[in-house]
Structure 1
Amino acid sequence: MITSYTRIAGQSLDRLAALSDGIFAVVMTLLVLDLRVPVMDGHEHGEHPLWHAGMWSSEREVWHALMEVGPHVLPYAISFMTLGIFWIAQQTQFNHFARTDRNLTWIHLVFLAVVSLMPFSTGLLSEYVTYRIPFVLYWLNLLFLGLMMLVSLRYARRAGLLKAEATDEVLVAQRRRVYFYQVCYAAAVALCVVNTYVSMVALILLQLASALAPPIPPFNRY
C-alpha cells in the first residue's frame, strides 16, 4: 500500500510551536529597531554639546531630541502588545489541538508570515503617523491575523484535530474574542478620518483592554 506524502507531512505540533516562538521573538525584537537614538546638533560633527552650549542648553537639546522619538513609541507599544496578544491566542489554540496535519501546519505558517509583516506596518505607521493609508494597512495586518486564527479553529474542528476538552463552549469563547476585537480594531482605525492620533490612542487602549481580558458580551451565533 502506497502512503501519500501529504498524509504524513507536517504532523509535529511541538516543532510548529517552537517555530512560532522563534518567529514571534525575532519580530518583537525587530520592532525596537524603529526607536533610533536621536543625534543632536554637534554630536553628528563629533563635538560634545557641553563645549559649545553649556550644561542647561545641552539638557534642553536632549529633551528636544527625545521628543522627536515620541511619535515612534506609541506604534511600538501597540505592536508589541498586539504580537503578545496574538502569541497568547495561538498558544491557546495549540493547547487545544490533539495533533496537527499538513494543512493546519500551513495555515499557521501563513499566520506567521502575516506576523512577520508587523515590523513593516509598524514602521510605516510611525513614520507617517499623520496619514490615513498607514492606519488602513496596519488594520489589514490585524485583520489577516484574526482571520487566520478563525480559519485555524474551523479547520481543526472539521478535521478532528481537537482534544476532547475543546468543547463548543471553548471554541465559541475563542471565536467571540476574535470577532469582538476585530470589530473594535475596525472602529478604532475608522477614527483616523477624524484624527490619526485619536485613532492611535484608541488602538492602544484596545490592546490594554485585551491584555487585561475583560469579559466579552456573548453572541448568539459563532
Structure 2
Amino acid sequence: MVRLEPGPEVLTSREEVDIVGRGHGRRLYLWHSLCVSEQPRRRRRLADLSGTSPDRLSGISDGIFSVGMTLLVLGLVVQGLNGSHTTETQLWDELRRLGPSALIYTMSFMTLGIFWLGQGTQLNHLTRSNRNYAWIQLAFLFAVTLVPFSTLLLAHFYWLRVALIEYWLNIVLLGGMLFAGLEYGLRANLFVEEGRSEMAFLMRGRILIAQSLYAGATLLCVIFPTWVSIALIVLIQLNYVIAPRIPILDRF
C-alpha cells in the first residue's frame, strides 16, 4: 500500500480558514486605516492661535498701569502765578487750592495700585491663555486708561455729584472686568489646578465686597455733600492698602 502525503501546496481546511481569516482581518484593518485617514481634521483658525501668551498680557498690563499712574500727576498744576513776582503767600494759597486735587490724585493712585495687585494675582495663576481671555483683559486695561480722565474730572468738579458718579462707574468697570476675567478663566480651565478653588473664593469675595463698599459710599452723595463720599472711598482704599485685620473684611 502506498501512502500519499499531502504536498506543501495542499492545505487542510483549518489552515485555509486561518489564512482567509487573517486576510480578512488585514482587509478590515486596511479599510479602517483608510477611513480614519480620510476623516478631515478641523482646520485651525488664526483666532485659535492668538492671545495664548500670559507673558504678553503681563507685559502690556504693567506698561499701561505705569503710564496711567504717571498721567495722574499731570492734573496737579499750579496756575495763575506770575513767575518771579510770585510771593510766598500767593504760592501757599495756590498749594492750598490744590489740596482737593492732591487728595483725589492719591485716591486714584491707590485705586490703580489695588487693581494692579488684583490683576497680577489672577495672571500669576494662569497656565495658559486664549483669545477671549486676552480681550477681557484688554477691556480691563481700557478701564485703567480712563482713570486719569475720571481723576481730572473729579478733581476739577469735586463738589458735583455727576463727577463723583462718573468716577465710581470707572471703578465699577474695573471690578467688573476683573470679575469677568476670573469667571471665564475658571470655566475655560486657564488657571493652575493647585489652589484654584481657594484663589477663586478669595478673589470673588474681595471684588464683590469692595464693589459693595464703593457703591454704598457713592450713594451717600444723594444725602450728604460729595466730600463725605470721597472721604469714605479714601478710607476703603486705605483698608485694602494697609490690610488691617478687621473681622468682617479680613476673610478675603
Fold agreement, TM-score > 0.5: yes
Aligned-residue RMSD, C-alpha: 1.5
Q: Which residue of 1 aligns with 2:78?
A: 37
Q: Which residue of 2 aligns with 1:199?
A: 229
Q: Are 1:6 and 2:43 counterparts?
A: no
- TM-score of the aligned structures, taking structure 2 as reference length: 0.78
Q: Which residue of 1 aligns with 2:219?
A: 190
Equivalent residue letter for 2:45: S
Cα distance in structure 1, aligned partners of 2:69 and 2:154? 16
Contact 1:96 1:165 in 2 (8 A): no
Equivalent residue letter for 2:239: A
* Correspondence 1:4-83 to 2 at 5 A: 4-40=45-81, 43=82, 47-49=84-86, 58-83=87-112
1:53-102 deviations in Å (ceiling 9; x for gaps): xxxxx222221111111121111011000000000000000111111100
Amino-acid identity (%): 44
What secondary structure is seen at the aligned counterpart in 1 of 2:108?
helix
Contact 1:188 1:203 in 2 (8 A): yes
CA shift, 1:37, in A, is 2.3
1:147-179 deviations in Å (ceiling 9; x for gaps): 111111110011011101233122110110000
Structure 2 runs not aligned, ≥5 long: 1-40
1:124-147 deviations in Å (ceiling 9; x for gaps): 101111100111111110011111
4+ runs of 1 displaced by more than 6 Å?
none
Q: Are 1:209 and 2:239 counterparts?
A: yes
Cα distance in structure 1, aligned partners of 2:191 and 2:84? 63
Cα distance in structure 1, aligned partners of 2:220 and 2:57? 37
CA shift, 1:191, in A, is 2.0
Structure 1 runs not aligned, ≥5 long: 50-57
- TM-score of the aligned structures, taking structure 1 as reference length: 0.89
Contact 1:20 1:112 in 2 (8 A): yes
Q: Which moved more, 1:78-87 or 1:192-201?
A: 192-201
Equivalent residue letter for 2:72: L
Number of matched pairs: 207
* Aligned mate of 2:206, from 159, 168, 177: 177
* Aligned mate of 2:130, from 89, 94, 101: 101
Contact 1:34 1:123 in 2 (8 A): yes
1:181-220 deviations in Å (ceiling 9; x for gaps): 100000111122211111111111110001122452659x
Contact 1:75 1:126 in 2 (8 A): yes
Higher RCO (C-alpha under 8 Å, 6+ residues apart)? 1
Equivalent residue letter for 1:210: Y
